[in-house]
């Protein structure tokens, strides 16, 4: 299978986001003669200057490539806008990465989750129905596994017990996509991402917040007394997985009854090796010292506090990625130290330029 996407009209929603911007840059680097349309509402859930930085990086890269890049500031919940884009650009592939992210934020701000993650996704599905596409790829989340006790998490597991509104919206995306795949034969693939990290990531993620606090000399709280395990997945691995999935839509075929079998798949994309949060924090601290973000004699012990679990959180996330490997010959491979080293180097350049 070639690793190039050639001559396609592609919509990437959430294009100024962490995963979205990295995907657009990868498509510009490796694709040929594509038209890539990025949509983002540039909301202030976190520092907008970071989103602007990512867009500037895309612009720089796009200048020398033969694919076309178009950015549109707009809201996924704006049905008229979504329809207009589908009519104008006749998309072949749609990658829906726009969503209101964050488990904890969903407890205090439920409205934005319903608007973006439910209404916004419904608008995308309706547009794919009216203006058929070759493939709809959309972001789900490891949070759909909720309080499941069995690990590693498999896409065969039942996921009927979400423990946050965020998780419930992501599960509903999968259900809606399945219904639309069945009713309208829309090829769709959902991707359950596991704790994505890397340079220019989301500041609300633990590794980023820890870094900010350590730099200010504040104390960091390590939940569940450091006994949480997370399947940390480096962003480049996620992007490689998304790109491969984009190129291979689930097959349209009929069942024994002559009716379409839904061309629908869901995959985990995770590192397949959960890391203890305390180990993660120790590696992060070492790499921040190595990059010169923190001084070499930093007293880390004085700046960490072990605290109980938070509501809506789960003790372990761990992805079974055997289906991804079977269907695409791919599994994430970036080690935690390598990934955190790249993050620390980026952080030093972006924030410590003074």
The catalytic site residues sit at 166
Q: What is the DSSP letter of 316?
A: B
Look at the block and give the residue holding tokens 């990086």: 57
Task: Name which of 324, 228, 224 is nearest 270 in CA terms.
Answer: 324
> What is the four-CA torsion angle of 59, 61, 66, 68, rounded to 10 degrees?
-30
Task: Name which of 313, 340, 21 is nearest 208 in CA terms.
Answer: 340
Beta pairing class for 253-254 and 260-261: antiparallel
Judge contact between 189 and 328, C-beta under 8 A.
Answer: no
Task: Name which of 44, 27, 192, 185 is nearest 109 in CA terms.
Answer: 44
Residues 6 or more apart in contact with residue 80 via CB below 8 angstroms: none
Look at the block and give the residue holding tokens 């993620």: 205
Beta pairing class for 196-197 and 220-222: unpaired
Look at the block and give the residue holding tokens 């596409």: 133
Beta pairing class for 229-230 and 275-276: antiparallel
Task: Name which of 160, 143, 142, 128 is nearest 264 in CA terms.
Answer: 128
Residues 6 or more apart in contact with residue 243 via CB below 8 angstroms: 3, 5, 23, 26, 27, 30
State the angle between helix axes of 121-130 and 165-184 in degrees (0 to 180), rounded to the nearest 10.
10
> What is the four-CA torsion angle of 277, 49, 35, 264, rounded to 10 degrees?
30
Task: Name which of 156, 201, 169, 187 is nearest 319 in CA terms.
Answer: 156
């Amino acid at each position: 299978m070639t690793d190039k996407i050639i001559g396609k009209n592609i919509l990437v929603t959430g294009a100024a986001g962490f995963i979205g911007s990295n995907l657009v840059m990868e498509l510009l680097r490796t694709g040929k003669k594509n038209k890539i349309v990025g949509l983002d509402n540039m909301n202030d859930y976190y520092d907008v200057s970071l989103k602007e930085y990512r867009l500037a990086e895309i612009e720089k890269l796009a200048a020398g490539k033969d694919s076309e890049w178009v950015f549109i500031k707009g809201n996924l919940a704006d049905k008229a806008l979504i329809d207009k884009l589908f009519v104008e650009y006749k998309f072949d592939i749609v990658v829906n990465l726009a969503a209101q992210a964050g488990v904890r934020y969903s407890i205090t701000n439920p409205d934005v989750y319903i608007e973006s993650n439910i209404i916004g996704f419904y608008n995308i599905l309706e547009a794919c129905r009216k203006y058929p596409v070759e493939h709809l790829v959309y972001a789900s989340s490891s949070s759909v596994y909720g309080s499941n006790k069995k690990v590693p998490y498999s896409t065969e597991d039942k996921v009927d017990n979400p423990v946050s509104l965020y998780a419930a919206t992501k599960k509903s995306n999968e259900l809606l996509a399945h219904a639309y795949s069945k009713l309208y034969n829309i090829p769709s693939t959902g991707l359950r991402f596991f704790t994505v990290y890397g340079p220019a990531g989301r500041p609300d993620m633990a590794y980023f917040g820890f870094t900010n606090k350590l730099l200010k000399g504040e104390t960091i709280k390590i939940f569940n007394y450091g006994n949480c395990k997370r399947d940390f997945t480096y962003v480049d691995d996620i992007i490689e997985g998304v790109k491969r999935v984009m190129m291979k839509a689930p097959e349209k075929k009929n069942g024994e009854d002559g009716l379409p079998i839904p061309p629908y798949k869901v995959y985990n994309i995770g590192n397949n090796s959960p890391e203890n949060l305390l180990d993660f924090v120790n590696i992060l601290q070492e790499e921040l010292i190595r990059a010169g973000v923190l001084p070499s004699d930093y007293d880390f012990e004085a700046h960490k506090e072990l605290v109980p679990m938070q509501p809506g959180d789960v003790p372990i996330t761990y992805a079974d990625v055997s289906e991804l490997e079977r269907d695409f010959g791919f599994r994430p491979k970036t080690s935690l130290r390598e990934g955190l080293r790249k993050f620390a180097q980026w952080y030093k350049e972006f924030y410590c330029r003074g």
